[in-house]
């Protein structure tokens, strides 16, 4: 079974802090994704990566950056956290090519005070 692990289930940070969310997958997947889930808005793609050191912006990249130094790890960075970034953050991974289902971690509930 694919295992996608997010480092924290719950996180509380203060406005202006730099926040790191970590995600690790154990299935050698090429693609990795970061989403945020908000009520009434579904899952919105923040950034994705299709290879080490490669990244592309998703639909809502503003205020975020990412890092992928190793194939199994994909980090989401909130450069200067703001209250409107309070949300559920979900990481996913998938194989490349054709279509492949994305496999999700259990999410990080991030609160910015």
Partner 1 sequence: DQQVKQNSPSLSVQEGRISILNCDYTNSMFDYFLWYKKYPAEGPTFLISISSIKDKNEDGRFTVFLNKSAKHLSLHIVPSQPGDSAVYFCAASVGGATNKLIFGTGTLLAVQP
Which stretches of the chain bind partner 1, using CB under 8 A? 4, 9, 30-31, 33, 35, 40-45, 48, 50, 56, 58, 90, 92, 94-97, 99-107
Query: Reduced to 3 states, what is the DSSP secondary structure of residue 19?
Result: strand
Nearer to partner 1, 69 or 99 (CB): 99
- For the beta carbon of residue 62, count every other beta carbon within 10 angstroms: 6
Closest CA to 49 of 25, 28, 27, 66: 66
Separation of alpha carbons 113 and 9, rounded Å: 17
Nearer to partner 1, 28 or 79 (CB): 28
Cβ of residue 28: shortest distance to partner 1, in angstroms? 15
Closest CA to 106 of 29, 12, 37, 46: 37
Cβ of residue 49: shortest distance to partner 1, in angstroms? 9
Cβ of residue 55: shortest distance to partner 1, in angstroms? 11
Nearer to partner 1, 23 or 78 (CB): 23
Number of residues in the chain: 113
Token pair 């912006």 is found at: 57
Nearer to partner 1, 56 or 79 (CB): 56
């Amino acid at each position: 079974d694919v295992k996608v692990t997010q480092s924290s289930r719950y996180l509380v940070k203060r406005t202006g802090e730099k926040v790191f969310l970590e995600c690790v997958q154990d299935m050698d997947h090429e693609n990795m994704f970061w989403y945020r889930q908000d009520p009434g808005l579904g899952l919105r793609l923040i950034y994705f990566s299709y290879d080490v050191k490669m990244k592309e912006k998703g639909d809502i990249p503003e205020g975020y950056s990412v890092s992928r130094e190793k194939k199994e790890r994909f980090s989401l960075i909130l450069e200067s956290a703001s209250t409107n970034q309070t949300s559920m953050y979900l990481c996913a991974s998938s194989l490349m090519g054709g279509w492949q289902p994305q496999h999700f971690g259990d999410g990080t509930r991030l609160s910015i005070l």
